[in-house]
Structure 1
Amino acid sequence: MCRSLLTYLRGTHVVNRKARRLLDKGKTFHVACGVAICVFSVVHVSAHLANLVNFSVRYSEEFPALNVARYRGEDPRIIILTTVPGVTGVLLVLVLFLMFTASSYCIRVCNYEIFWYTHNLFIVFYLILLVHVIGGALKFQTNVEAHPPGCFRANQTSSEHQGEGLERGEGLEKSCGEEAHFQPHQPQTWLWISGPLCLYCAERLYRYIRSSDPVTIVTVLRHPCDVIEVRMLKREFNARPGQYVVLNCPTVSSFENHPFTLTACPTEKSGVFGVHLRVVGDWTERFTELLLPGPGVASEILPMVQQRTYPKLYVDGPFGSPSEDVFNYEVSLCVAGGIGVTPFACVLHTLLDSWRTFRLRRLYFVWVCRELQSFYWFAELLCTLHHKLWQENRPDYLNLHLFISQTDRLQVSQMQSHITRA
């Protein structure tokens, strides 16, 4: 999930097309790793529970240092709640359960805040994991040469040990030089997690420094179907079509970060970039209230009455996505549904500036929306690009196909218009 590193690798020419597609599956690989951790955690916990029962039932009087239980028949639940590995293990299972259940699709869609806050418990998970291995439940023998396995102790006569060995069909065993000594295994968890954790911390530090400069909101426009367009300026901000950014508004929430695809990238002529966001949740509703006046105040009158002050906003990114590959082919097909058109809107903006400089020779653009008013989001852009291509004798460069999924409202609006004309 080191997004900046993946974006850098994706933008280099060293990575070929197949490797770039694998980098685009970073989130899928992250989910697969999470599921694998949960599956093997169940196996790990089950094995330790079986060990606890064995330690209690088969308490070794001969080697008491090996036992986790303090006496024969000790309740395994008491062992769990009174030992460092037991208590930390319970906490690890609880944290992992919260992270796994909150990552489900229904919770992420209905209540994104729960997913976001519980997912950041991975910091607590790593800290407890480092403490979990300190308990020393698993031990190994340090004096194997002086006390080889199977030797008879000094307080046991050689004739008794020889008789036991003959009954088991074994040969003569040598006597022990000393009692067996055991020592807990040295913790090695840090060897496995230190590298990835340091890489992720360096990534987060770099992203924090890069996003520390607040942006200047230039324009805020309200579009049909509860869609807001935000145009911004930021110093030394460069992005490619198809990339996305992560927005953070401290006034709404200091810890929540939401990704939005760029619909306009900075160019040589203008450094303005923009995003389109649909008001579908608590964060977007609160953010929209801070950007735009209430419904009772006219947007045209407000600038004449008072100067609009926008909230402080931080932008992290940009980050790479598969939509960047549109220009790497001679023929590309772009299919979008509703607000999912945002990656291709930036592509159309780029073609409007200079379409001759790319390898792309033909673009098929398919856009499916529920309502007719949704096409107004980028109607001006589509018309301008279509008109420019016609003027430059390339009408076949852009093949536009627009579809409406809910035709009932379209028929009602047509009937209402006919009645009004009559």
Structure 2
Amino acid sequence: MTRYLCNCFVFVRRRVFLISWISLVLYIFYDTFNYYYKDRRFYHLRSILGSGLCISRGTANVLNLCCALVLLPLCKKLNQLLYRLLSKLWPGLFFFWLERAKSFHMTVAITLLIFAVIHSLSHFVNLWNFSRNYDGRRPDINMARYKNENPLHLLMSTTGVTGVMLLTISISMGLTSLRVVRRRIYNAFWYTHQLYLPFMVFLMIHPLSGVLKEEVLDEPNTSLFPSQIKSWTNSSTPYTPKFVAIKSKTWLWMALPLSCFLVDLLWRIFSRNRAGVQLLNVTHMPGRTLSVTVSCPHEWFNCRKGQYILLQCLDVSLLEWHPFTVVKLPTPNYRQFDVWIRVKGDWTEAFERLILERGAINVRVLIDGPFSSPMEGVSRSDIALCVAAGVGITPFVTILYDMLINPRGFLPRRVHLLWIVRQEQEITWLAELTNKVLSELRYANRPDRLHIEFYVTATNNNKTNTPIDKDKNDLAHVIVINEKGVISHVLNENDRTLDDEKATLLTPIKKVNDYVEVKRDLDNKGYDIAKEYPLLGCRVRRGRPHWDRVFGYWVHLYPEQNLSLYCCGPKKLVKLLRDRCKSVSNDTKTKFTFIHEAFS
């Protein structure tokens, strides 16, 4: 019995947010349903619509709440401002909000979609009841003009059309947000989510037509029903109820969140650099990853460790903004920053092709940000446990640069960094930087400040990058990389350049099948990083980490302490480490707080 209660307590504690949200939603629905079910002013309307009135109004209030809250995680600038203010007063609270912002947005969106369907079905039933239960004695309260009017005619009203548009947009956003759809056709996901502006417009118009009406009662008569009214009213003066449209409260729900969202949107639009950003240098790293150096737009562009920016290439798409973590921060003497871009997907392939054809300096880009991220907590942690996979190492690169500049820095006092890569050549992204950091820490008598391990998962390390396009005749162009890693290109004579094309709203479909073959002047066969960087050779492991040993080592090293584990990588790794943190925290006295990077 005690074990059962403990398991229940752990289950509730893990899902306290979800349970609280479901409880709030059900309470709002029940309270509104009960209000419209018992209130005297809706007696005549209930006699026509039945319980459909109560369900539609209850779901309407839930939808108002969801539409108000779904915008909050999208207010990036305001979230960043709040983070800077609250991180000093109560860092844990807003830190939790940043880490949970994406899941919060998804939870509210799923609730919105479910109640939007229920709300629409209840109104379809209401249209049928308006036609079937037409009240000839009180024509003001009827939506139908006569008994048994076709419900489709009622649907053609302003309320009906806007309601159908709202439902269509909600379902479109929900379907394209599925992981399967989002991964395969990301453009559809992005395009449907740009419909949030017409969605908000339809949301404000939808309840203004006044289809649903309430009875106007004098103050002393608000609790009396018709049978009670007839007992004291003069029989010679028949009772004739008056009706007015139910006042819309949507604007009350949406006023503050929508104002915050619009202020945030205008702030971002006016703060975006429109002229001064240039691509200064582009180098190609192993694993088909681009290292892009961008000029710093303004003197007030201050970026912190772990923050990210949104990048837009006008020649590829006029709508798409893609997030990338800043791996090298601008300084007063270094007015530029670096980002790493893994070439995977239609947008990144089109961006890479454009750089090759025009040259980096001739590609037009805009940046938005920087924006706060949960990874900022690494620089303020006493002990930081960091796990990254592939290009997920980017949030932790700035920590290495900081250690190189300030090897005797106070925070973070100790960093445990595990980096999982597929090929050993990918370690060269950080090999030179890591080698310098380890040397500087030794000279500063702080060798224990950084504990770094590399895990190479590929069993055969002799494979080089090969074309995914099997048709060699369709090869568009070839990248050539010299010994310094700088990319150059050889274009096919029959290749059509992008100079003759106009910018599109989304990534051109024809570029999805374009493939860039990567050739290297260096021979990668039999590559051994230990020969070039001896300090890193002993830190390279083969295969994936044995997480029981890793966590056991941390528990043994830091008994009875509260540790933060920062993770940036694929979803499977995130889920694995999140579950492992929970189980180890329950079984030992060392408590782990799991924090992962998820762009919102």
Please indicate the TM-score interval, normalised by the length of the shorter structure: 0.7 to 0.9
Who is 2:99 aligned against? Answer: 24
1:57 aligns with 2:132: yes
CA distance in 2, matches of 1:7, 1:381: 29
CA shift, 1:84, in A, is 1.6
Who is 2:515 aligned against? Answer: none
Who is 2:170 aligned against? Answer: 96
Who is 2:82 aligned against? Answer: 9
Who is 1:359 aligned against? Answer: 411
Who is 1:297 aligned against? Answer: none
RMSD of aligned C-alpha atoms?
2.7
Aligned in 2, Cα 1:182/1:272: closer, same or farther, shift over 3 Å? Answer: same
The amino acid that maps onto 2:318 is: S
CA shift, 1:197, in A, is 1.3
CA distance in 2, matches of 1:349, 1:225: 22
Does the 8 Å contact 1:130/1:189 carry over to 2? yes
Q: Can you list the C-alpha shifts for 1:199-251, whole angstroms capped at 9, x where unaligned? A: 11111111111113431322211111110001122222211110000001111
CA shift, 1:116, in A, is 1.2
1:142 aligns with 2:204: no
Give the secondary-structure state (helix, strand or coil) at the position aligned to 2:448: coil
- Of 34, 38, 42, which residue of structure 1 is paired with 2:109? 34
Q: Can you list the C-alpha shifts for 1:286-317, whole angstroms capped at 9, x where unaligned? A: 211222359xxxxxxxxxxxx86331211111
Does the 8 Å contact 1:152/1:174 carry over to 2? no
Bigger Cα displacement from structure 2, 194-203 vs 355-364? 355-364
CA distance in 2, matches of 1:206, 1:143: 47
* Number of equivalences: 389
Aligned in 2, Cα 1:118/1:334: closer, same or farther, shift over 3 Å? Answer: same
Who is 2:355 aligned against? Answer: 291
| 5+ long unaligned stretches in structure 2 | 1-73, 465-522, 528-600
CA shift, 1:366, in A, is 0.1
Who is 2:321 aligned against? Answer: 257
CA distance in 1, matches of 2:136, 2:168: 35
Q: Can you list the C-alpha shifts for 1:161-202, whole angstroms capped at 9, x where unaligned? A: 8xxxxxxxxx67643456322121233322221221121111
CA distance in 1, matches of 2:360, 2:321: 24
CA distance in 1, matches of 2:81, 2:142: 52
Does the 8 Å contact 1:372/1:404 carry over to 2? yes
Aligned in 2, Cα 1:207/1:308: closer, same or farther, shift over 3 Å? Answer: closer
Aligned in 2, Cα 1:173/1:353: closer, same or farther, shift over 3 Å? Answer: same
Does the 8 Å contact 1:231/1:272 carry over to 2? yes
Aligned in 2, Cα 1:310/1:62: closer, same or farther, shift over 3 Å? Answer: same
Does the 8 Å contact 1:227/1:276 carry over to 2? yes
Q: Can you list the C-alpha shifts for 1:307-360, whole angstroms capped at 9, x where unaligned? A: 863312111111111111112222111100011111111221122111323322
| 5+ long unaligned stretches in structure 1 | 154-160, 162-170, 295-306
- Of 85, 89, 95, which residue of structure 1 is paired with 2:159? 85
Does the 8 Å contact 2:279/2:360 carry over to 1? no
CA distance in 1, matches of 2:241, 2:344: 67
Aligned in 2, Cα 1:57/1:152: closer, same or farther, shift over 3 Å? Answer: farther
Larger Rg: 1
Give the secondary-structure state (helix, strand or coil) at the position aligned to 2:172: helix
| 1:163-174 pair list within 5 angstroms | 174=234
Who is 1:227 aligned against? Answer: 289
Q: Can you list the C-alpha shifts for 1:345-396, whole angstroms capped at 9, x where unaligned? A: 1221122111323322211110001111211222111111112112222222
CA shift, 1:152, in A, is 11
CA shift, 1:252, in A, is 1.2
Aligned in 2, Cα 1:29/1:326: closer, same or farther, shift over 3 Å? Answer: same
The amino acid that maps onto 1:217 is: L
Aligned in 2, Cα 1:120/1:144: closer, same or farther, shift over 3 Å? Answer: same
Who is 1:75 aligned against? Answer: 150
CA distance in 2, matches of 1:411, 1:141: 78
